[in-house]
Amino acid sequence: MSEETYALNLSELQESLRERVRAAAAEKFGVELEQFPAEVPPRTELGDLAFPVAFELAKRIKQATGEKRNPRAIAEELKQVLESDAAVARVEVAGAGYLNLFYDRARLLAALSSSTTEATAAAPSSEDRPKRMVEHTSVNPNKAAHIGHLRNSVLGDTFVRILRANGERVEVHNYIDNTGVQVADVVVGFQHLEGMSLADVRALDASLKEDYPFDYYCWDLYARVGLFYRGGDPDAKEDPERLKLRVETLHALEEGGNATAELADYVATRIVHQHLDTMRRLGITYDLLPRESEVLHFLWSHAFERMKESGAIHFQTEGKNRGCWVMPMEGHEGSEEHEPDKVIVRSNGTITYTGKDIAYQLWKLGQVDLNFYFKPFRTEPDGHAVWTTTSNKEEAASDAPHFGAGATVYNVIDSRQSYPQEVVKRGVAAVAPQVGEAASAHLSYERVVLTPAAAEELGLELSTEEKSRTFVEMSGRRGLGVKADDFIDTLEANALREVEGRHPDIPDEEKRAAAHALAVGALRYFLMKWTRNSVIVFDFKEALSTKGEAGPYCQYAAVRANSIFRKLPNGELENAQRLIASSAAEGGEAAESVRKVFEGEIGDEIWSLVTLAARLPQVLQQSASFAEPSHLAKYTFQLAQAFNFFYNRDENRILEERDAVRRAVLVYVTDFVRTQLTSALATLGIEVPERM
């Protein structure tokens, strides 16, 4: 390696160059720069890095001294400072005063490989790091998961992977509302519509076929209950008399220790397992499943005390909220119909959803001393243990991990809950000012809706009003939605057909594995390519596509790169790595011959591919700080696209390249790109199959 140790990756190099600019600005112009941007020029010909800092300096100098200086002249002075860095080959002053830096391509190329292996070797997250709590999925355990739920889970899981890729310590929660209205409704269905006992439901469950499992059964049953409440007319209002069944059932669930609660527990637990099965197909797992029943029984009273002590809530003795414990929401306007205060405990003594949420959030942040009892829920095939909470002390495992006590909390919840989430954040801050609002983040996202065409494909009869709209909302009550398992099945079947056609000779097991990887790639990419606050209008044709901006496109680029290495003689990659490293270390002619490969139009193209691939750590960092996984998805696609462009050039055909140095560079670059691409895809939860 080089005799001088300089930055190993681009962001470190960039930071050290920025430091040089900062120092030079202070020394030469007496200006202290705080934050100033460094950017990637729009085209490689313009350089690898640009500092549009001369404009800012000209302004600051004028402010300080009244002296008017030309930005170009300022840039010229900074130019020399930057050129003295060994990693910088040259600097150009462009346009009105841009400082454009060109890296020493031979040197940087050699430095990149070592930084990559370090960056992609799944940075171990040390125990003493602050813990990031991510809650996602949290699907009501009363029916099969649909595509809208998948957006939540994939978003949450991808964010978890991004945090981990940044070396963060993460704990993943999937909150289980096992005593809520939605579970109660399905119980009403079993008990009152079908006259079933727990034993009957168990027997039914055991008798159901694979293509119509329990969660699908409940999906339909739930829709029937919705219809039942409306007296059989989907457009009618809910009948208060029939709704009494719901209230009674809900009451029994909260009470516990009765047949209705037992039935509910069976339904909820059974469906949680099915949800976990569904999510596991996409590579999604959890550390802890906190259940509402335990939040109510164990956590609430302690959290309630803290809320009262801290003055975050107070008892209302008059007005509309008389008899309630409320939290004032300052800055939120009240009106005739809307009180500015938020009710936490109702006048009948029951707790609102928001109240429970604040309690749970306080626990996540280590602000409630009490701990739950934990027991193992199940172990995934890869050995990952999933835990849950329990009210039964006897069941409690003594070797449970230390859950809770996180430094920050990210809740993946759709944007309609922005206001309740705001209340939770403020509530936590009111109870625990030292934690404040900054510890709570709402990862809000827009929902998945259906095109009218997609809704009709699902067999729904649309009203003329709905047909004229651009989209139709999914509705559990109407039983309208694209079931997650159905959709994954379709994706896998389509992919299997394609693989079958291309590689009829490979073993069936490999075909199925490839089809699965492609289905996951298509689905996860499809759900991740949009920014969080963009509504996904689900269209079958688009969601099933594997062409263009899609997961399989990215996988295909990696597969093609890998297949080159299958055909390369043993040891050629290692030789290429040695050659690049030694040429950079020795300099002189050896380095010159490497530089020559990067000259000209094609050289620029190859170099731009290298710098794009090298940007992965920055993209990961940015995706984490903006909490926006779609940035990573977009980047991954761009990298795949850039590789395909490189790959399709006749001049870049590695196996036919005769020039030893050029061939070594091509091998080295291709290896670097496939490593970064594979790493980016892995962070998106997408695997690269051997063949596809």
Partner RNA sequence: GCACCCGUAGCUCAGUUGGAUAGAGCGUUUGACUACGAAUCAAAAGGCCGAAGGUUCGAGUCCUUCCGGGUGCACCA
Which residues inside 54-93 make contact with RNA, applying CB under 7 A? Answer: 55-56, 59
Stretch that binds RNA, among 1-9, 37-45, 194-202, 602-610 (CB under 7 A): 37-45
Minimum CB distance to RNA smaller for 131 or for 149:
149
As a dihedral over the C-alpha atoms of residue 474, residue 475, residue 476, residue 482, rounded to 10 degrees, the angle is -20
| Distance, CA of 683 to CA of 161 (rounded, Å) | 5
One residue of 151, 164, 275, 634 binding RNA per CB under 7 A: 634
Q: Are 137 and 144 in contact (CB under 8 A)?
A: no
| Distance, CA of 134 to CA of 337 (rounded, Å) | 35
* 180 scored as a contact of RNA (CB under 7 A): yes
One residue of 339, 492, 605, 671 binding RNA per CB under 7 A: 339
Minimum CB distance to RNA smaller for 52 or for 213:
52
> Which residue, 72, 71, 52, 49, is CA-closest to 61?
71
Which residues, numbered 446-485, are part of the site for RNA (CB under 7 A)?
446, 470, 473
Minimum CB distance to RNA smaller for 363 or for 526:
526
Lookup: tokens for 556: 């295909």
Minimum CB distance to RNA smaller for 94 or for 396:
94
Which residues, numbered 503-532, are part of the site for RNA (CB under 7 A)?
503, 514, 518, 529-531
For residue 654, the minimal CB distance to RNA (Å) is 4
Query: Going residue by residue from 376 to 415, which x/- string records binding to RNA, judged by CB under 7 A?
Result: ---------------------------------------x
* 533 scored as a contact of RNA (CB under 7 A): yes
* 328 scored as a contact of RNA (CB under 7 A): no
Going by the DSSP 8-state scheme, the letter that residue 442 receives in this structure is E
* 655 scored as a contact of RNA (CB under 7 A): yes
* 216 scored as a contact of RNA (CB under 7 A): no
Q: Are 161 and 686 in contact (CB under 8 A)?
A: no
φ, ψ at 212 (rounded to 5°):
-145, 70
For residue 265, the minimal CB distance to RNA (Å) is 16
> Which residue, 585, 600, 692, 602, is CA-closest to 647?
602
**Residue 238 carries which side chain, given as an amino acid letter?**
E
| Distance, CA of 681 to CA of 687 (rounded, Å) | 7
One residue of 652, 676, 678, 679 binding RNA per CB under 7 A: 652
List CB contacts of 402: < 8 A, sequence separation 6 or more: none
| Distance, CA of 98 to CA of 52 (rounded, Å) | 5
Q: List beta partners, residue 411.
A: 135, 442
* 623 scored as a contact of RNA (CB under 7 A): no
Query: Going residue by residue from 548 to 577, which x/- string records binding to RNA, judged by CB under 7 A?
Result: xx--xx--x--xx--xx--x----------
* 20 scored as a contact of RNA (CB under 7 A): no
Tokens 């936590």, residue located: 428
Minimum CB distance to RNA smaller for 212 or for 419:
419
Stretch that binds RNA, among 122-130, 293-301, 391-399, 652-660 (CB under 7 A): 652-660
- Angle subtended at Cα 194 by Cα 189 and Cα 198, rounded to the nearest 5 degrees: 80
DSSP reduced 3-state for 349 = coil
* 630 scored as a contact of RNA (CB under 7 A): yes
**For residue 429, what is the enclosing H or E element?**
helix 418-431
- Rounded to a whole number, what is the largest CA-CA distance in the chain? 90
Which residues, numbered 230-289, are part of the site for RNA (CB under 7 A)?
none
As a dihedral over the C-alpha atoms of residue 471, residue 477, residue 481, residue 484, rounded to 10 degrees, the angle is 140
One residue of 11, 125, 321, 475 binding RNA per CB under 7 A: 321
* 95 scored as a contact of RNA (CB under 7 A): yes
One residue of 20, 77, 645, 682 binding RNA per CB under 7 A: 645
One residue of 134, 162, 368, 499 binding RNA per CB under 7 A: 499
For residue 232, the minimal CB distance to RNA (Å) is 22
